[in-house]
Amino acid sequence: MSAVTAAAPAIALRGLEKSFRALHVLRGVDLDVERGSVVALLGSNGAGKTTLIRILTTLLAPDAGTASVEGLDVTTQGARVRETISLTGQSAAVDEVLTGRENLVLVARLRHQPDPGAVADALLERFSLAEAGGRRVATWSGGMRRRLDIAMSLIGGPRVVLLDEPTTGLDPEARLEVWDAIRRLAQQGTTVLLSTQYLDEAEHLADRIAILHGGRIIADGTLAELKALLPPARVEYVEQQPTLEDVFLAVIGATPADTEEQGR
């Protein structure tokens, strides 16, 4: 995990609200994401994670409250916010007709980088894609495409990266590849807000975990702090520590039976 600095938050949300007609999605979200940290935003499907991400990327305007990125207001300073951030969505935004290197060179040219070829080669090496760089992306695995997508999002040096459920639909091996790419971002000091519904993903990657439920952040802390919300582990033959899934279900007031019923 990355080191957390004591500087002002890279992302600050205060009283953020958003509704779609009668549907109240965000009901007053408060959240800080410290510079250079990885914060996982956990929530069930429909909890409002993507809505929050869209507000931070200036694609949606909030109904109330404030949101800032690197001290820039997303409502009044949208252009500068977009220069500061990068977004990787739920599906890889890569051109399968082009090679991996050609995808990177294209984006580098669009972002007016002085040496697009050098930028592409450096990112291919950084994300362990150099050997496949000359092949069309259509021949790549899902994990390789997602790593390329993340690599493309880093061109231009964004200080904040927003990942909206980046491992949705990937097999376990591909998920591990993407996890490794996210760890590398954190190690290099990039601020990452990771929206996910996978509890193990948050447990393995995040410095802090925020749980979004009912339109609000109902729990926010390190994994150890969240586990401390539950009673101490029972000791029978071995100590059984609560999992992040136990914490998540407890703070939203659900039980395993409830989640099984929703899946039917």
**Segment 56-76, tens digit of pLDDT:** 999 999 999 999 999 999 999
pLDDT at residue 6 greater than cutoff 60: no
CB contact at 8 A, 221 and 242: no
pLDDT of residue 242: 83
Structural domain boundaries, residue 72: 11-262
- Binning pLDDT at 50, 70 and 90, where does residue 3 land? very low
Q: CA-CA distance, 72 to 80, in Å (whole number)?
A: 7
Joined tokens for residue 142 = 């899902």
List the CATH number of the domain containing 61: 3.40.50.300
The arithmetic mean of pLDDT across residues 154-175, rounded, is: 88
Number of domains in the chain: 1
CB contact at 8 A, 186 and 2: yes
Q: Is residue 1 in some structural domain?
A: no
pLDDT at residue 196 greater than cutoff 80: yes
The arithmetic mean of pLDDT across residues 70-87, rounded, is: 95
Q: Is residue 61 in some structural domain?
A: yes
Q: Is residue 2 in some structural domain?
A: no
Q: Is residue 22 in some structural domain?
A: yes
Q: By percentage, how much of the chain surpasses pLDDT 90?
A: 63
**By three-state DSSP, how is residue 136 classified?**
strand
Q: In what order do the strands lie in the sheet with 38-42?
A: 85-88, 160-164, 191-196, 38-42, 208-213, 216-221
Q: Is residue 18 in some structural domain?
A: yes
pLDDT of residue 162: 96
